Amino acid sequence: MPNFVLSPVGTISNGTLLITIEMEKRILGNSGLEVSALGLGCMGLTFGYGPATDEKEAIELIRNAYDLGVTFFDTAEAYSQGGNEILLGKAVKSFRDKVVIATKFGFLDGDSTKGLDSSPARIRKVVENSLKFLQTDYIDLFYQHRVDPNIAIEEVAGTVKDLIAEGKVKHFGLSEASAESIRKAHAVQPVAALQSEYSLFFREPEQVILPTLEELGIGFVPFSPLGKGFLTGAINENTTFDKTDFRNIVPRFSEENRKANQTLVDLLKAIAAEKEATPAQIALAWLLAQKTFIAPIPGTTKLHRLQENVGGASVILTKADLEKIESAASKITIQGERYPQHLQNRVGK
């Protein structure tokens, strides 16, 4: 069965047929929340990967994503302290009811450099800010950005449960949480989705997290599904990043480790050549093939990369393809930690 359905949606003055692409849809666990198989991570448009994208270009990119079948958009208060949400709100305003918006709370003053704050008062403040910034009456998926060791996860879940009862939030999510925290939160308010890093470049979730999510009926939304761009094949040991790009402080992206980790990119390139695809498309297709409740959210600032990523949803990997990738990948040891220590201390809590 093809993953794409072409649907004529109207005509323009010269008689040319307008076509929209309907991407495969997925349900996040038992929540009933339906999303496009691939979403769009919006963080990089304003935060984390160098200078912010021009607003007009960023809005155009988001709208192009929607035209290509993407209905799942991810943002957070901490991405430019609301600036990213404002951008997304402007971009999707005309089709708000046709998309799923996910945003996040959990940092002091919405600033990821200041530490964590998931106090009930802060959560409520973030909700009101996000509703205003996003120009919406409800948030489809509201994640705790990182587990706050100073606030019981049950209290966090209870606060979001109240917001759901009030109609301000539809679904509750966690990000980079441990299996223990997931279970505790889920017992108070069902968790619709966990957002954490997962890709061929970082497979740790396979050990405990994925089995836990499957058991509890929770969806999985992998961020950095292309290894922060590394799996596209566009980065090598000679690549230089903008001074504000956070990959400069990521051990896995040291010059030495980038050189060592090219082995994985070479594997993807070989598979891609056989499938008439790109390394990025193979990496995304591999993720989609792992579980039916997985919906990755690759981010980009470039239209051609967006189009390439969306194409990954229509690449079908056979059982033989997956076995070949697994066999080859099992012989590769990725070099370098995925976070510097101060950021690593915030995950898996």
- Structure-token match 């951008």, residue found: 87
Tokens of 211: 């089995």
- Structure-token match 């939030």, residue found: 169
Tell me the C-alpha distance between 281 and 231, whole Å.
9
Tell me the C-alpha distance between 327 and 323, whole Å.
6
With H, G, I as helix, E, B as strand and everything else as coil, classify residue 25.
strand
Strand partners, 173: 143, 193
Tell me the C-alpha distance between 233 and 134, whole Å.
34
90, 199, 265, 273 from 343: Cα distances, Å: 31, 19, 25, 36
Tokens of 205: 């979730």
- Structure-token match 């990089």, residue found: 44
With H, G, I as helix, E, B as strand and everything else as coil, classify residue 143.
strand
Tell me the C-alpha distance between 341 and 110, whole Å.
21
The residues near 298 (Cβ < 8 Å, ≥ 6 apart) are: 38, 40, 41, 225, 226, 280, 284, 309
Tell me the C-alpha distance between 116 and 110, whole Å.
9
Phi and psi for 99 in degrees, rounded to 5? -130, 160
Tell me the C-alpha distance between 56 and 91, whole Å.
9
Q: Where does residue 11 rank: exposed (0-12), middle (13-18), buried (19+ CB within 10 A)?
A: exposed
Catalytic residue (choose from 49, 79, 143, 198): 79
Beta strands in 176-266 (DSSP E): 191-197, 219-223
339 is catalytic: no
Tell me the C-alpha distance between 152 and 122, whole Å.
14
What kind and span of H or E run contains 258?
helix 255-260
Residues classed as catalytic:
79
